[in-house]
Amino acid sequence: MSAVPRLEHPGINLGPAHPDTRGKSGELLFGFWVFLMSDAIVFGLLFATYAVMLHARAGGPGPKQLYDIKSAFIETLALLSSSFTFGMASLALKYSKRTGALVGWLVATMCLGGLFLRLEVQDFLSMLHNGAGPGRSGYLSAFFALVPLHGIHVFSGIVWMLALIVQIRRFGIDRDVKLGLLRLGLFWHFLDIIWVVIFSFIYLGGLA
Amino acid sequence: MSILHIVFGRLSVETLPFWEMLHYPTRQNVVNGAIATTAAFMVLAGAAVTALLITRYRKWRVLWSEWLTSVDHKPIGIMYIVIAFVMLARALLEANIMRGQMAFSLGGGFLSADHFEQFFTTHGTIMIFFMAMPFLTGLINYVMPMQIGARDVAFPVMNSISLGLTAAGAALVMISLDIGKFSTGGWSGYPPYTEAAFNPGVGVDYWIWAVSLSSLGSMMTGINFAVTVYKKRSPGMRFMRLPLFTWTALCTSILMIFAMPPLTVATGLLALDRYLGFHFFTDHFGGNFMNYVNLFWLFGHPEVYILILPAFGVYSEVFSTFSGKTLYGYTSLVIATMAIACLSFTVWLHHFFTMGQNANINAVFGIATMLIGIPTGVKVYDWLWTMFRGRVRFTVPLVYALAFSMLFVIGGMTGIVLANPSVDFQVHNSQFLIAHFHNMLVPGTLFGLLAGYHMWFPKAFGFRLHERWGMFSALCFIVGFVLAFFPLYAAGLLGYPRRTLDYFDPVYQPYMIVALIGALVILAGLAGLLIQLLVSIRRREELAVPAGDPWDGRSLEWWTAAPPPEYNFSVLPVVTGRDPFTTAKEAGTAYRAPSRFEDIEMPKNSAMGMIVCVFGFLAAFGLVWYMWWLVVASTLAIVAAMVGRGFVRDTERIIPAHEVERCHLRWLATVSVTQPVTRGTEVKPANAGLAALESAE
């Protein structure tokens, strides 16, 4: 057992090769997990609201008329791949000394996140164009509170990533950048999980 | 659209509180306008006098560098409590005006319906979100890190941001007195009444954004405190050695983490309805206001325990300290606290037994509600046994605690009555309910917080509060409470509904007159607190307790100077059991100099809290008045500040070991020249903060 270093927090630990984060990462990462729990409650309540309002359509269109499974599927692929590329970025952070690999994977993640947002906004616009905006029915209100909120989270994740890349250029991969990337990683994978639920519960469930 | 409209949104001179009175001078308009204008003037005068005093004594720089930008948990805790007291004064004055109305509203009264509704809405909103919440957050902030032997909370800058958000929310409620009106929808803001269709004005928007700012701040506070307790305990401070106040702080934080999001969701969805035409809670297009009611009470019921648990923690410390005994039934108290925290998520539906679910569901929630009485009863017995054969001293905190233990049981009994759905159908929305929840929250939460204020004030400022004025104030609060709320039980059973402007049955009037007298007595209690503070400041030399342990304290926070150094403890204490300070005092090792001192790393000041406070306030103000440019600009400013903060690398400073040593030796020198006092003389001037050893027989 002694060969395995004690984990300071759940998730990827940077381990003994990164002594500068020791002692700091435990509190920060645990705190961020707790924040994610709180955020998960927000999403959970919006899912519940959606489930309750699914049939409150006021004579308006329902999932079968509105959802484009092809687009949602491509969005899913984009976001799942972005979680993979972020995973590669985390490994680069842990094992590689080169800044280039890390930044490269982060840029790839941002591009995939951007692609996801681009497609999602297109979906929303076409719904609005077809007169299926949030003001049409309780069901659409619930849809437009839940799914775009996830999108806003993805957008803030991208802003955060951009800020960290600029920090890497400015300071190199120092302690604060490492701690930021660890937390951003949790955030990004969390959003992926939320999206998996959105895709299965809202899109697949709605079209089934 | 004119340029004026773009800049000021829907803000105009007609929103000033005296506009209606001057243009339509009916008798009622003049009375209500005069009250509103006086209140508006008081807000401005209060701000102006504060600013003048700060200028007069040249304290702006000190205010900025040692308070507003400080990330030390101690000044932050004190600032929270200052907010709480200011807001308490306003909400108590409002309560008195409402009581005045109710005493003389047989067939009329002097308030207009709209004005009366604003009164009970602001009174409730303030007492919950801007009095009780800041007060308990302030107490936990000040005391909890020291009780676990930490130098600060886990996230000091976030702590300052939480304070900024709470302050911004409180400022929004205050500014609504001067510009526009506040909500008339009650503290719970039920739609569809609060929807734009029925309430197109700014009132509900003020309520939404004030509450949203404060709930965001409380969610962050919860995260901060929970991580602090989990991660920052000093060596040897195991969970079952935590002081009970820290246990209740932990449970309250967990409740905040899970219960604030439902409120944020509820107010957020209501805002979407009002601003963007969504249909969550409207009457048409599939909206369903019951969703709001469920969301709100998913927050609202745990909130009740967020408010009461820290007070339970204070009482535990008070009973133990002022009986000179270790807490009786520590383990059962911990289990009871956790049990209450868990059960608090299972009873939200009892807030709306009458709103349409079937009898079986009501029965389940009724039984769950009654279950909470069990752990609470366990606590009361533990506290009584703590006093048994102790060295009990009737100081101000203990008087509050004794009053609590009797009044709270009465309030709990009426809660059991209300938990029965079939009884609830008879008395819901009546004054009986008002009496019940004030019976829980005044002797429970408010007395507890005031007891904590009296107990820990000497630790924070280095001098005790004047005992006689404190006793006067405590007796006013206790007697006033009984007079103000016990008659409401009777009035409620006689059928007097809550939130009602006037009545036509003279049978209610005697009860309402007694209640008014009670409210005035409570107001005298508040005045007593203010006088006590002024008297204590003036006599601070004679009340000084520099050695830091005025009450023969038992937990770590007393084991340092009063006021404590920024880093709390020169060397982190090593804990070997419960009541570690008492153990050290009995072993005679409490005041020994440690063999070596080390450099201490502390966080640097940060303006983040103030930036979020100012721009959070401006963004909310812009949202209320449709000044969209202000909303966009303020939001961008906050985002820019957050991104910019990520680029700050120089966030810590070192306090050198020799400086720590100098401070520590100075404290020990003070202790060595201080005369120890016995418990019999602890409220006399002789008490300079060093306790004589005496056993509890």
The rounded radius of gyration (Å) of the Cα atoms in chain A is 19
pLDDT in tens, B367-398: 999 999 999 999 999 999 999 999 999 999 99
Using the Cβ of B155 and the Cβ atoms of chain A, whether some distance falls under 8 Å is answered with yes
Residues found in chain B: 697
Contact A139, B280 (CB under 8 A): no
CA B595 to chain centre: 41
Q: How far apart are CA B281 and CA B263, in angstroms?
A: 15
| Model ipTM value | 0.96
Largest distance between two CA atoms of chain A: 65
Q: Is B459 exposed, middle or buried, given 0-12, 13-18 or 19+ CB atoms closer than 10 A?
A: buried
Q: Please give the average per-residue pLDDT across A133-139, as a whole number.
A: 96
**DSSP letter, residue B66:** I
- Which residue bears the tokens 């984009």? A78
What was the pLDDT predicted at B107?
A: 81
Answer yes or no: is pLDDT of A3 > 70: no
Task: Answer yes or no: do A134 and B277 touch at CB < 8 A.
Answer: yes
CA distance readout (Å), B473 to B84, B90, B456: 17, 18, 17
Distance CA(A142)–CA(A144), nearest Å, equals 6
| Chain B: residue whose CA lies nearest to A142 | B280
Q: Does A185 touch chain B (CB under 8 A)?
A: no
Most A CBs within 10 Å: which of B280, B281, B299, B648, as the mutation test of the A interface? B280
- B422: buried, middle or exposed (CB in 10 Å: 19+, 13-18, 0-12)? exposed
A42/B258 Cβ within 8 A: no
N residues, chain A: 208
Please state, in angstroms and rounded to a whole number, the distance separating the CA atoms of residues B158 and A32: 12
pLDDT tens across A38-93, in order? Answer: 999 999 999 999 999 999 999 999 999 999 999 999 999 999 999 999 999 999 99
pLDDT at B1: 66
The tokens describing B564, both together, are 């404590």
Q: pLDDT digits over A18-41, tens only?
A: 988 888 899 999 999 999 999 999
Amino acid symbol at A147: V
Chain B, nearest residue to A141 by Cα? B278
Q: A50 CA to chain B: closest CA distance, Å?
A: 10
Contacts of B276 in chain A (CB under 8 A): 134-135
Residues of chain B positioned with their CB less than 8 A from the CB of A128: none
HEC letters along B86-104? HHHHHHHHHHHHHHHHHHC
Spatial separation of the C-alpha atoms in residues B692 and B681, rounded to whole Å: 10
**Confidence (pTM):** 0.97
Confidence bin at A1 (pLDDT 50/70/90): very low
Cβ pair B295:A45 closer than 8 A: yes
Q: Percentage of chain A with pLDDT > 90?
A: 86
- What's the pLDDT at A4? 67
A124 touches chain B (CB under 8 A): no
Positions in chain B short of pLDDT 50? 696-697
Q: Do B219 and A38 touch (CB under 8 A)?
A: yes
Residue of A177, A106, A25 whose CA lies nearest to B647: A177
User: In Å, how far is A32's CA from the nearest CA of chain B?
Assistant: 9
Q: Which residues of B touch A47 (CB under 8 A)?
A: none
User: How far, in Å, are A14, B19, B224, B652 from residue A183 at the CA level?
Assistant: 12, 53, 16, 21
Say if the Cβ atoms of A53 and B219 lie within 8 Å. no
pLDDT confidence of residue B2:
85
**How far away is chain A from the Cα of B162, in angstroms, using its nearest Cα?**
14
Contact B288 A56 (CB under 8 A): yes
**A147 reaches B (C-beta below 8 A):** no
Mutate to test the interface with A, among B231, B256, B265 (most CBs of A within 10 A): B265
pLDDT tens digits, one per residue of B593-607: 998 999 999 999 999
Strand partners, B677: B691
Number of cross-chain residue pairs from A and B with Cβ atoms under 8 Å apart: 114
